[in-house]
Chain A
Amino acid sequence: MPSDLDVIIAGGGRVGFQTATILADRGHDVTIVERDERVVDGIADEWVATVIEGDATDPGIVEQAGIERADVVAALTGESGLNLAVCLAAAELNPEIRTVARIDSASDEAYTRFVDAVLFPERAGARLAANQIIGSDVQTLADTTGDLDIMLVRVAEGAPAAGKQLTEVRFPAGTLVISDEEGNSISRPDTELAAGSRYLVAVEPDVVDEVMNLLQG
């Protein structure tokens, strides 16, 4: 299990940039390919990823992004057809690569024949909208969090914290392990972080990288 992924994101717009930011916080290497010069400047100011300026369907540009070494390519522009083309080209250049395409309709099945995973941001957006409309009593995880990340994390075999009790592990300030191993009660000081089990963890963005290191190695 590679702890740090080398990710190429095609499209540095809202979805692409937010995704890059979250991945970079978790310690992954991100390269963004973006066509629009003004968007490129905006990303450069935030200093989250290397940026290649150009069209992601151009093989020369994708090669500059380091496609041979990348673990994942995520095509996150607003055009499904373009995203599909980027993923297909990427898989051609690097057969081992994992491909993720953003689509603009709910018809997942049509695409999953060609790419490893699809996402439909509007569905997540709709969930958030429903949350806001109903009010604050019941919310899905994605929206309770503000700047916090609340994540389900599987403890990796051989990770520094694997097999240790919570009291033995010094998590950085800004971390809270919420659930126990089975996920049906709140963690206690003697809760053991068993390798292979999943835990609900709340983390502030600055320290996600460190927490991931402890839990995933």
Chain B
Amino acid sequence: MSSQTRSPNAELGLLDATMIGMGAMIGAGIFVLTGLAAQIAGPAAIVVFALNGVVTAFTGLSYAELAASIPKSGGGYAFVREIFDDLSSFIMGWMLWFAYMIAGALYALGFAPNFLELLHVYGVVAPPDQVGALAVPVVDAAVPVAFLLAFVAVLALVALNAVSTAASGSAETVFTIVKVSILVVFVAFGLTSPMFSGAEFQPLFSEAGGAAAVLPAMGLTFIAFEGYDLITTVTEEVQNPRENIPKAIFISLAATVVVYLAVVTVAIGTLGAEGLADAGEAGIAAAATSFMPTGLPVIRNGGALIVFGAVFSTLTALNAVVIASSRVAFSMGREEQLLPSFGQLHHRYGTPFVAILASAVVMLGSVALPTQSAGNMSSLFFLLSFVIVNVAVIRLRRERPDMNRPYEMPLYPVPPLVGIGLNLVLTVVLVEYLIRTDPLALGLSVGWILLGGVAYLLLDRAGNRPEPGPSTGSEMTPGGED
């Protein structure tokens, strides 16, 4: 009989699960956002990454508790769907979907300058800042090369994922080891380089913004810590999930923070906050080219290794969020919160084709945004969805006190309350910062929420959720609370 067959391939150990989480966090974020953070906060970018690690840790506790007690491989949306009524869970899914899509645009935008830097290291093209726009002869308009590259990268990965089912988790482990090794090389050379011995971290806070500039920089770089959501999507394949999932979340988060701090410290110590800021999305790559040895065989230039790491990281991260965003849309389709076609596999390709295509449209459109706007918007939506995840933990404890919780967070209800508070503070700071500096990003964010409201009403009216029993009484308030 079919006993114990649900997870015949429960073969991911604690190490693999940890690597999946680290792989998602260590990657594009550190390469792309360090320069931008330095631009806002100066040398205090180090503080920015440290504090963000702390803020995320509180939500990490909530994720650990939910992942251990709700056996669903769907990440944040699946948990919230289990607990909240139709509208709240729809909003959660809608926001998370957007966060992932914009993250995709962000990684594509980070890929482009790093790829140009790589070509430059090999002498194929001029330094990135001199690669201008590609003149399009017919329409008499110039398309920036970086934009074109980002667009092509998204298109290629979307096409790949649309027609073939994704690579397995074991590839992810290899990717992560490659990325971490490259960063370790970076840190090792940086610490021993003569540039670092004269490192100057004073004044820690930039003159323009002062200590307050740390907060908007935290908002911008928050997305770098979003990755452990991905661990909860493979729980089914993890051995002894109720112990290993919480552990994997905490270990990967701690390890990521350590790596980030080392990398940012070295980058600022060598290139200086201003130099980093000037290099923008290619900050780490520029720092590496400045102190890595040159004249090596094959790779010619030690910096090329790091630049390759940046290109590799942004591409793998882009691939991961293409999958992640389409999976959220797919789950929403399964739950009949989007058109049912989103929740269907394509008969020929066996992939969630419609969900991938829809995600691709938004990603391709977002590639036209400035990198910083993409980072800000993605962070904003992750912050909001993390607030909901923390609320979900509290609500689940109150409404279902007798639910079996293999992992219970310590000091409940302090961690989720602190998590909600800190995430909201960052949200407010970020929104305030956007009002001042980037109204376009804010407008688009609000527009997406409004679009969601319209979509929800239309689907509701079209009777997309027509089943007699389950969802008509959408208000689920068993405990008599609200």
A residues bordering B, Cβ < 8 Å?
2-4, 6, 18, 21-22, 24-25, 27, 29, 40, 43-54, 61, 63-64, 66-71, 94, 96-97, 145-149, 158-161, 164, 168-172, 205-206, 210, 213-214, 217
Contact = CB atoms under 8 A, between A and B. Distances in A.
B470 A160 contact: no
B233 to A, nearest CB: 14
B293 to A, nearest CB: 48
A139 to B, nearest CB: 13
A50 B347 contact: no
A68 B399 CA distance: 13
Contacts of B70: 50
Given A21-B4, A52-B400, A170-B349, 5 more contacts: A18-B1, A24-B71, A47-B7, A68-B473, A171-B350
B391 to A, nearest CB: 18
A170 B347 contact: yes
A37 B196 CA distance: 59
Contact of B2 (A44, A149, A159): A149
B476 A69 contact: yes
A22 B334 CA distance: 19
Given A69-B476, A147-B5, A170 B404 contact: no
Contacts, number: 136
Tell me the interface secondary structure of chain A in the complex: loop
Given A44-B406, A66-B478, A68-B476, A21 B347 contact: no
A44 B6 contact: no
B67 to A, nearest CB: 10
Interface stretch (B50-58, B143-151, B270-278, B337-345): B337-345
Nearest to B86: A69
A139 B336 CA distance: 40
B471 interface: yes
B168 interface: no
Given A50-B69, A52-B404, A45 B242 contact: yes
A147 B2 contact: yes
Contacts of B71: 24, 47-50
B236 interface: yes
A31 B27 CA distance: 37
A4 B72 CA distance: 13
Tell me the interface secondary structure of chain B in the complex: loop
Contact of B343 (A3, A48, A64): A3
Contact of B8 (A24, A171, A206): A206
Contact of A71 (B335, B347, B469): B469
Contacts of A97: 469
Interface string B398-421: 011111101000000000000000
A63 B5 contact: no
Nearest to A148: B2
Interface of B: 1-9, 69-72, 82, 165, 235-236, 240-242, 334-336, 340, 343-350, 399-404, 406, 467-473, 476, 478-479
A68 B70 CA distance: 18
Given A24-B6, A64-B402, A210-B350, A160 B469 contact: no
Contact of A46 (B6, B467, B479): B6
26 contacts: A2-B336, A3-B343, A29-B82, A46-B7, A47-B7, A47-B236, A47-B241, A50-B70, A50-B82, A50-B404, A52-B403, A53-B403, A53-B404, A69-B470, A69-B473, A70-B469, A71-B469, A94-B469, A96-B472, A145-B1, A160-B344, A160-B345, A172-B350, A205-B2, A206-B8, A213-B345
Contact of A164 (B5, B9, B347): B347
Contacts of A24: 6, 71
Given A64-B401, A68-B476, A47 B235 contact: yes
B344 A64 contact: no
Contact of B5 (A21, A43, A71, A213): A21
Nearest to A142: B1
